Amino acid sequence: MTETLQDDAAAATAARLLAHDTFDAKCVLRPIMDQTTSRWATLIISALITGPHRFAQLHARVGGISQKMLAQNLKALARTGLVHREVAPTTPPQVTYSLTELGASLAGPLTELIGWYGRHGDELLAAQADYDRGQSEVS
């Protein structure tokens, strides 16, 4: 009986520790991770680190994003608690987006990632060119 209790306790501990194992295909956080680390979400969160933005400001700031993609990403980020959507009672309504505390805590690492690309851009492009040359020689 004691052995069964210990096994149950070990299983419960393992389940708790693995509850958010993003390497596990069944991890419930994977869809959120996919949404928040997409190209657009990363840029939106990074843009909002400077302060609240209206939709048009974000659209102008995040080059290349369509209005539809911006709206979809903002909705997903609001759903995950990273972005706050505030609607002012005006005609027409003025909507402002800002980072929540949770979103601000993610913005730092994301902007660091973007900065890393900037710092290593030449190396990344050179590596791609070297790889492509090697592939063309093999063909």
pLDDT 10s digit of each residue in the chain, 139 long? 556 666 777 666 666 555 678 788 888 888 888 888 899 999 999 999 999 999 999 999 999 999 999 999 999 999 999 999 999 999 988 999 999 999 999 999 998 999 999 999 999 999 999 999 998 887 7
Q: Counting Cβ atoms within 10 Å, is residue 88 exposed (0-12), middle (13-18) or buried (19+)?
A: exposed
Using alpha carbons, select from 18, 77, 17, 5 the residue that is nearest to residue 44: 77
Q: Is the pTM of this model over 0.85?
A: no
- Whether 83 contacts 74, CB under 8 Å: yes
